[in-house]
């Protein structure tokens, strides 16, 4: 159904099979939240769960809770739930640390699986931490980092390539790469393929098994709604478990942590990717985030996310033209994640003017206003209203208001 009026947007929401999933989040009144790709919304069950964990499990039961409240097995439990959302087996995913740290572990592990190949291929415009970590790993292991600059990643692959590590969705533009085709091309030259799924998990129909991807990492605090600084995930395909060797062999990744042995015996498969003690409070908040996806098929999330971003683009085209906005994200839905980015010379104040009206997006250098569409809790009517606010901001040049907040540290 084409949506040309607000009433049609509301009608579409009434038939949305994900409408009940929105109830699993505690969203503030008067806010249209288009930043769930940066920090996901609060799961409705999280405050009570965390209050219980703090006051009872920690406060009363103290160290007994590691067993009794199943803190010790929480990383594997949460990993199993994330696995379903990214098309991996529960035994192929670990939850630990940050995406940056997991990337370090997996880049090193991947290079060790390809000892004779000197090159790591990454993209210059991928999330900066990925490039920083890639450069450091290359230096530490005496490999070369080949940084792509806009060109087709497939063209950069050759028999020297140990691995290709890319984001599925470009954090700036929202462009989506073809994980299946690129992974196949990496395998054709004997290289491994590692995917950063930070802007995919919880929004797209990720199918790591179908794509025969080798490894993946991703954030827990974006679409997965794990809360600020939530632990991240790491995936290693089962066929690589045997040769897997983490560069951070901590006691929590030991086969028997309480043996307190001076020799590190790695835990089975991805269990060795745990380095130190998990951040239990954050981890259990992430468990509530991931639980909001219970019974939700990734394909349904993807379909709705595509429809939301499509509607946003069409409405911006129709209602906001003539004000200097330029679409950066691909128009073709299959090449786009759950995000729409637009360029505007005054993108920063534009985003601030929208935030003042309760429409929260964010800004990325140099001139990008970025809007994320979390399919689990956004409505078609929200998209309609957000574009109406954008139209009003542009029409009245609200972004030129000197009273708008100045640039903060977090944009």
Ligand X SMILES: Cc1ncc(COP(=O)(O)O)c(C=O)c1O
Is residue 373 annotated as a catalytic residue, yes or no?
Answer: no
Task: Please pick, from the candidates 99, 173, 306, 352, the single residue that binds ligand X as defined by CB under 6 A.
Answer: 99
List the interface residues with ligand X, window 224-253 (CB under 6 A).
Answer: 232
- Write down the catalytic residue from 24, 176, 302, 370: 370
In the structure encoding, which two tokens stand for residue 276, read together?
């130190």
Task: Assess 130 for contact with ligand X (CB under 6 A).
Answer: yes
CB of residue 252 to ligand X, shortest distance in Å: 18
d(CA 332, CA 259): 55
Task: Please pick, from the candidates 33, 171, 363, 373, the single residue that binds ligand X as defined by CB under 6 A.
Answer: 171
Asked whether the beta carbons of 36 and 228 are under 8 A apart, the reply is no
> With respect to ligand X, which residue has the nearer C-beta, 16 or 196?
196
CB of residue 112 to ligand X, shortest distance in Å: 22
- Write down the catalytic residue from 222, 302, 304, 357: 222
Task: Assess 167 for contact with ligand X (CB under 6 A).
Answer: yes
Residues in Cβ contact with 25 at an 8 Å cutoff, skipping those fewer than 6 apart: 41, 42, 43, 44, 225, 292, 376, 377
- Write down the catalytic residue from 13, 16, 170, 196: 196
List the interface residues with ligand X, window 183-222 (CB under 6 A).
Answer: 196, 198-199, 219
Is residue 304 annotated as a catalytic residue, yes or no?
Answer: no
For helices 280-291 and 74-86, give the axis angle rounded to 10 degrees: 40
CB of residue 133 to ligand X, shortest distance in Å: 9
CB of residue 228 to ligand X, shortest distance in Å: 10
Is residue 348 annotated as a catalytic residue, yes or no?
Answer: no
Nearest to 387 by CA among 312, 332, 328, 336: 312
> With respect to ligand X, which residue has the nearer C-beta, 99 or 246?
99
d(CA 374, CA 68): 35
- Write down the catalytic residue from 127, 233, 293, 371: 127
Task: Please pick, from the candidates 8, 10, 11, 129, the single residue that binds ligand X as defined by CB under 6 A.
Answer: 129
Stretch that binds ligand X, among 67-75, 98-106, 174-182, 346-354 (CB under 6 A): 98-106
CB of residue 97 to ligand X, shortest distance in Å: 8
CB of residue 232 to ligand X, shortest distance in Å: 5
Nearest to 75 by CA among 59, 90, 56, 96: 96
Task: Assess 98 for contact with ligand X (CB under 6 A).
Answer: yes
Stretch that binds ligand X, among 70-78, 93-101, 303-311, 347-355 (CB under 6 A): 93-101
In the structure encoding, which two tokens stand for residue 334, read together?
């299959």
> With respect to ligand X, which residue has the nearer C-beta, 167 or 352?
167
Buried b / exposed e along 151-163 (16+ C-beta atoms within 10 A) = eebbebbeebbbb
- Number of residues near ligand X (by CB under 6 A): 13
- Could you count the other beta carbons within 10 Å of the beta carbon of residue 361? 25
CB of residue 294 to ligand X, shortest distance in Å: 24
In the structure encoding, which two tokens stand for residue 175, read together?
């462009």
Q: Which residues bind ligand X (CB under 6 A)?
A: 98-100, 127, 129-130, 167, 171, 196, 198-199, 219, 232
Q: Which residues are catalytic?
A: 127, 196, 221-222, 370
């Amino acid at each position: 159904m084409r949506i040309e009026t607000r009433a049609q947007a509301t009608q579409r929401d009434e038939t949305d099979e994900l409408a009940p999933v929105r109830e699993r989040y505690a969203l503030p009144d008067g806010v249209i939240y288009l930043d769930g790709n940066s920090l996901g919304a609060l799961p409705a069950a999280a405050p009570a769960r965390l209050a219980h964990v703090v006051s009872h499990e920690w406060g009363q039961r103290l160290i007994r809770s590691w067993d009794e409240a199943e803190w010790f097995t929480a990383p594997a439990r949460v990993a199993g739930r994330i696995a379903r959302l990214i098309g991996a087996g529960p035994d192929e995913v670990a939850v630990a640390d940050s995406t940056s740290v997991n990337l370090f572990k997996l880049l090193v592990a991947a290079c060790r699986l390809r000892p004779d190949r000197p090159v790591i291929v990454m993209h210059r415009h991928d999330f900066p931490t990925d490039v920083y970590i890639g450069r450091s790993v290359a230096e530490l292991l005496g490999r070369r980092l080949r940084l792509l600059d806009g060109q087709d990643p497939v063209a950069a692959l050759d028999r020297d390539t140990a691995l290709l590590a890319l984001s599925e969705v470009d954090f700036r533009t929202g462009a989506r790469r073809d994980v299946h085709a690129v992974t196949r091309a990496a395998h054709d030259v004997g290289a491994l393929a590692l995917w950063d799924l930070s802007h995919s998990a919880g929004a797209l129909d990720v199918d790591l098994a179908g794509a025969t991807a080798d490894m993946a990492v991703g954030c827990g605090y974006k679409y997965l709604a794990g809360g600020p600084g939530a632990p991240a995930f790491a995936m290693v395909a089962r066929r690589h478990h045997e040769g897997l060797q983490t560069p951070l062999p901590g006691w929590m990744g030991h086969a028997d942590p309480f043996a307190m042995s001076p020799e590190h015996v790695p835990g089975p498969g991805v269990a060795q990717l745990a380095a130190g003690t998990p951040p239990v409070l954050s981890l259990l908040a992430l468990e509530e985030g991931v639980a909001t996806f219970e019974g939700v098929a990734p394909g349904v999330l993807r379909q709705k996310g595509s429809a939301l971003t499509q509607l946003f683009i069409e409405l911006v085209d129709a209602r906001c033209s003539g004000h200097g906005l330029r679409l950066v994200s691909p128009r073709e839905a299959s090449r786009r994640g759950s995000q729409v980015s637009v360029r505007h010379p005054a993108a920063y104040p534009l985003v601030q003017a929208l935030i003042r009206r309760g429409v929260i997006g964010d800004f990325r250098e140099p001139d990008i206003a970025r809007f994320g569409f979390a399919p689990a809790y956004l409505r078609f009517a929200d998209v309609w209203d957000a574009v109406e606010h954008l139209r009003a901001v542009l029409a009245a040049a609200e972004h030129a208001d000197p009273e708008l907040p100045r640039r903060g540290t977090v944009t």
